[in-house]
Chains A and B, each alone.
Chain A
Amino acid sequence: MTYARPKIELPGQEKNDIGLTLRDYEGSLSTLCAGCGHDSITAALVQALFEMAIEPEQLIKMSGIGCSSKTPAYFVHGAHGFNSVHGRMPSVATGALAGHRNLIGIGVSGDGDSLSIGFGQFGHVIRRNVNMLYLIENNGVYGLTKGQFSASADAGSTGKKGEVNQMQNINAVATAISMGATFVGRSFSGDRDQLVPLIKAAIAHPGCALLDVISPCVTFNDHQGSTKSYSYVREHKSRATEVDLVSPRAEIKASYYSGDAHPVLLHDGSTILLKKVDPDYDPTRRNNALGYLERCRIRGEIVTGLLYIDQNVSDMHTQCRTLATPLRDEAFANLNPGSEALAELQKGMK
């Protein structure tokens, strides 16, 4: 069920650049379990979109099927949403953004939705570099069908009833990088300070930005033996990088440059400030990123942060050389060649 959230205007609420408050970025009340990691991610999305001052109607929210895929209902009630079929969010997003290139696309998926039933579409939307945020709420388990392992469950981790997962896991981050992703990050639903700026950077990135967010399932995967529980992730996560998004209008303050921070300038004039926590890490080189991920895996670390970025690869529309105007807004007269052209072209058919 979805429940409308009562909208209460509180005096003195902070407003963003377009005069909207944080409440304007909220959606229906969540019907997920109390303590679900997904709700924390929703809150981070609300915060990030508020801070970026995105017009609600310019946003489209898309998802597949599963607990994760319910979440588009829980943020930005003024945006159109599309809760599609299992594993197929990427194709709907691709079509929607093909028809209207200026919309800001956010696709929310889960580990079952993206790494099992939707593994093909996950790969191809990345390969096509559709300009969108692709967020996986990754809990290693099937919630709505009551606790089966998902493809992201680590080998050797245990289910709620003690059964051991024998198969190797599919690592969404490493898979995405090896398939040619142009922006790949990982975070933890419990780390809002890291997640909000990562979401902002991902939205600003001119291509398909994948965020793999570990999001514990309090009901089916938060026990001893799980590698996706709150306590396990807190104990084993490390940060490779820290990011911040600086809008084109904002002045880049000198304080941002503490440590190893370096700016990644995006085509729209905004800047992703990237700070390496681990000096050994270079997120602009694919082989370095993949090697680092593997070293972390061997050490049993869940590495987080912006893990790979290449802002210079063409997105789908640049590859297709599509018109700057959204196709759906193009006048019919510019689409239809008319009767004379039809008569002319048929001369070759006689």
Chain B
Amino acid sequence: MSATQSRVNDFVLKIATVNGTGSASANGLLMKALFRMGIPVTGKNLFPSNIQGLPTWYEIRANREGYMSASGRVDVMVAMNVQTYQKDLNEVSPGGVLIYDSTWPRESTLLRNDITVLGVPLAKLCNEAFSVARIRILMKNVAYAGVLAALMDIDLKMIKKLLEETFAAKPKLVESNLKAIMLGYDYAMENFTCPLPARAEVMGDNSGNIMITGNEATGLGCLYAGATVGAWYPITPSTGVMDSFTMYCRKFRTDPETGEKRYCIIQAEDELAAAGMVLGANWVGARAFTPTSGPGISLMSEFIGFAYYAEIPSVFIDVQRVGPSTGMPTRTQQGDVMLCAYASHGDTKHPLLFPSNPHECFHMAVTAFDLAERLQTPVFMLSDLDIGMNDWMVPELTWDDNYRPDRGKVLGPEDLAKMERFSRYLDVDGDGITYRTLPGEDPKGAYFVRGSGHNRYGAYTEDSDEYQDVMDRLLVKWETAKSLVPDAVLSKADRPTRLGIVAYGSSDGAVTEARDWLEEKGIHADYLRIRAFPFSREVEEFLRSHDTNFVVEQNRDAQMKSLLMLQANDIANRLVSILHYNGMPIPSGCIVKGVTDHLEKEAAA
């Protein structure tokens, strides 16, 4: 897209501040105002692994076409952090605007000729208007929202209404915030030509949409799935999942009279314990889960293998961050695909679910519990920091009140009464899934869960044939899983093409936008979004029906491509990786470049 094109409802606004100065509320205010104007909008938080003092950025993308991914462009930069001023200045796209606090002068060498630099004496204005030092700092951040309202034509009435909603319980705060807004607004109106070319315009009301983070939606999904036990060890970027589950459990699962809670949340001593708790609770028949991130999965791996072999339903939510090791905890990646697919020693493999946005996080959380209990195995939902912690606009969540949890094959006392003998690992139905019983019901159903060698009757064994019998039956179950996991989503080009794009998770938005760009260049590609592992049949069919399949991933080692090659190694030459793994959400331009570069190379060859 060229810089001369209209920037009305198509801009990226980036705000650079210092962690811990209260800029989040100003940024949230701006985004929500744009949302209420009916403009598709997303907010990405770029924050340090720090509580106070380090630089932090918030990037709002408003786009009339609904593109949600990182664009790699900055139209308006608010540079509130002196420390990062040079970097922020450099990042503004040609033709863009930089706003800075002109209370203190900037060195003229830091100027650029291809952008507009606007100085607003924010600190001075706030120091004159407010007396308390802490308030002055906070209001300085609110005041830039006022400047932007004037420059970008963001509805003032909407901002006022939002402030009233936010501070419904503290009307005094509405007054002071509005005062700060007007300081910035009036200054901009008097001193600059308003509005800028990059501006907002009402295009509806977004009434069918909501703004939500993936973590909040995931916690909500666990609530709606009927999970009663949540065990966890706090880890960025997954903490929000349990925060959300806790918040909604308090709201919906606390008896207003007795204060009794219909849930039990345990902050474990570490991830190993969290995994053990999840297994214990699921063993007795309570739906239980743990949210974590890559390092947590590493620690949980021993129990994951146990759950695979002893066949205990369990739900693991991995909000992926940048690895290896501690890596960059506040940056995003899809680096745990391989880890989760084969977590633990020995022959193990696990179903994985790949939500691509918060809306899908909500529904897939429910699916994860159903699959775990149906298949009696650990199931992973692989979200990531981009989905989990950023603000996404998605269609409103809906719920089918006829939904009932799939508890899988569980025998109660009545079933047991009709049986001569109960055998825990006997494949009665031929689908590889055996029947289980729950503690606390019937001595006839008693069995001994063990991670040591066991035969189909559940007894300890060191007999080769008996051991192999169970391992082979687990493969039958794996085949069954292929028909139960969510299908891949196919999006065909408007004409037959030999090109395919395969992606999953948070790369979806970037692929969608990239396909439109490619189409403008005359490059048409079908798109298959993988939503689960093991792969359902259509994944292999898709790969075989395209000469070149671009596999888009946010990791270095092409982990999904490796899984695809394991599935069908004869199609390896049809797979071309497009990889992005610097910790930032994948921009659409990266995919466009990956595809065009390859095609050019191919043409030259």
Contacts and interface: CB of A to CB of B under 8 A. Distances in A.
Interface of A: 1-2, 56-58, 60, 62, 72-73, 77-85, 88, 90-100, 102-103, 120-121, 123-124, 128, 316-317, 320-324, 326-328, 330, 332, 334-339, 341-343, 345-346, 349-350
B558 interface: no
24 contacts: A73-B460, A78-B443, A80-B437, A83-B449, A83-B451, A92-B277, A95-B278, A95-B281, A95-B283, A98-B264, A98-B277, A98-B281, A323-B262, A327-B228, A328-B228, A328-B281, A328-B284, A330-B262, A336-B224, A336-B403, A338-B401, A342-B397, A349-B210, A350-B211
Given A1-B460, A57-B446, A60-B284, A92 B279 contact: yes
A323 B255 CA distance: 9
B303 A56 contact: no
B441 interface: yes
Given A92-B277, A95-B282, 18 more contacts: A57-B445, A72-B448, A78-B443, A79-B446, A83-B448, A83-B450, A84-B276, A84-B449, A91-B272, A92-B283, A95-B280, A95-B283, A95-B288, A98-B288, A121-B276, A328-B281, A330-B262, A350-B209
Interface residues of B, number: 78
A98 B452 contact: no
B286 A81 contact: no
B263 A327 contact: yes
B404 interface: yes
Interface string B431-472: 000000111111111111111100000011010000000000
B215 to A, nearest CB: 13
Contacts of A100: 284-286, 439-440
Interface of B: 35-36, 206-207, 209-212, 220, 223-224, 226, 228-229, 231, 248, 251-253, 255, 259-266, 268-270, 272-286, 288, 302-303, 306, 396-401, 403-405, 437-452, 459-460, 462
Contact of B439 (A77, A85, A96, A339): A96
Contacts of A324: 260
Contact of A332 (B404, B437, B438): B404
Contacts of A91: 231, 268, 272-277, 280
Given A60-B284, A60-B439, A335 B262 contact: yes
B188 to A, nearest CB: 28
Contacts of B35: 350
Given A2-B460, A100-B284, A330 B441 contact: no
A2 B459 contact: yes
A95 B229 contact: yes
B440 A103 contact: yes
Contacts of A330: 228, 262
B273 A85 contact: no
A342 B251 CA distance: 12
B262 A334 contact: yes
A95 B285 contact: no
A316 B266 CA distance: 9
B438 A328 contact: yes
Given A99-B285, A321-B260, A327 B273 contact: no
